[in-house]
Structure 1
């Protein structure tokens, strides 16, 4: 028996994300233990950028529901993450969680290897935006083993499973969680490391803004294609995580401590000026 955690980043009760998560978890196999968390119900506060959490043994100093969520992820054998697209991106509860990854990134071993799938829902044609890459980014920064991800169209509650093909696709995601032979079908012109189809071009190279993988645009006659050159030390590799969350961030913290007085002097001309406006008391 496996324990599966479904994380639903939507406030809508019995909405598309909730139903998809249930379909996916139920398709994972018989007799599994299923748990769900509605991310929008949790009290997850914004990061303070205090860097108190940088030592690997140090927890985040903010007292909220983040530890509850992380404990449930640690206790799970697999994770399903679902979120709707709001204005071309995921529900804001996903971004609030991502903002706390400074306190999670250096503890990446705690979540390593747990299979995960993500499901994105959107309700207007061609308005899915960057929601799927953002959900996949969430899974990868948690160091989960992202097995597959999919996008489902549906504006009305339960509309995502009205089409039998979409229902079958959701069930396929569930079966993939514990299928060691499962292989995700790659999409054309996506980053081969993190699957993002959002890419930047600097005039010479194509760059994935998520994992940093680079490539080039090649033209052969009328055919144009992207050719990537993946490296093993990308941002989501163990080496990449150690570089950013341990080496780089700790070096910036030490730099601040060494130059604290200098930065205070830079702040002084602005210390006693304020142009803030606030709403009237209710």
Structure 2
């Protein structure tokens, strides 16, 4: 028996994200234990950028529901991450979760390696935006093994089920979670490392803004093609994670050494303007 955790970032009860997540989870096998967490029900507070969590033996100082979520992730064998597109990006609870990855980066072995699929739903054709890429980024941030991802069109609750192909695709993704040797079909012009179709061009190279993989634009016959050159120490590799941790620890030590200087630089700006807050009810 496997434990499959569905993380749904939608406030809608039985909305499209929840339905497809459940369909994928059910397809993993009749004997599996299926558990669900609705991110909008959790108290996930903003990261304070205090760097207190950088040591492996130090948890995040913020007392909220992140520890509950991380415990359930640690216990899971596979994860189904689902969210709707809001204003061309994922529901904001995804971003709140992403921002707290710093507290687990140095402990990625505890939470990493979980097989994961991501499910994006969006309501208007052409308006999925960067949502799927953001969900895949979440999987990479927490070092999950990304198996497959897909975006599904459907605005009204359960409307994704009006197209039988959507249910079939979700079930295929669920079965893939524990299918040895499953290979997702690559899409044209996407980053081969993190599957992002959001790319930057610096005048010479095409660069994935998520993992840093570089490529070049070329021609194959009459067609423009992108060719990528993945490196072993890309941003979410073990070496890449260590490089980021080394940088953060260096910055923490620099802050401690220059704390007095930084306070002096801040002083001229302490009394500029008036902060506005709502009246207490």
TM over 0.5: yes
**Aligned counterpart, 2:193:** 193
Q: How does 1:199-238 map to 2 (within 5 A)?
A: 199-220=199-220, 222-238=222-238
**Aligned counterpart, 1:272:** 271
CA distance in 2, matches of 1:130, 1:170: 20
CA distance in 1, matches of 2:112, 2:64: 24
CA distance in 2, matches of 1:187, 1:63: 41
Q: Name the SS for the 2:250 alignment partner.
A: helix
CA distance in 2, matches of 1:138, 1:15: 21
With the length of structure 2 as denominator, give the TM-score of the two structures.
Answer: 0.98
- 1:66 corresponds to 2:66: yes
Give the superposition deviation at 1:100. 0.6
Q: RMSD of the TM alignment (CA)?
A: 1.0
Superposed CA deviations along residues 23-79 of structure 1, whole A, max 9, x for unmatched, are 000000121000000011000000011111011110000000000000000000100
Q: Name the SS for the 1:259 alignment partner.
A: helix
Q: Name the SS for the 2:167 alignment partner.
A: helix
Q: How does 1:161-176 map to 2 (within 5 A)?
A: 161-176=161-176
CA distance in 1, matches of 2:104, 2:160: 32
With the length of structure 1 as denominator, give the TM-score of the two structures.
Answer: 0.98
CA distance in 2, matches of 1:272, 1:129: 40
Q: How does 1:1-282 map to 2 (within 5 A)?
A: 1-220=1-220, 222-244=222-244, 246-282=245-281
Q: Name the SS for the 2:240 alignment partner.
A: helix
Q: 1:279 to 1:106 in 2, by over 3 A?
A: same
Stretches of structure 1 that go unaligned for 5 or more consecutive residues are: none
Give the superposition deviation at 1:104. 1.3
Give the superposition deviation at 1:220. 4.5
Q: Name the SS for the 2:83 alignment partner.
A: strand
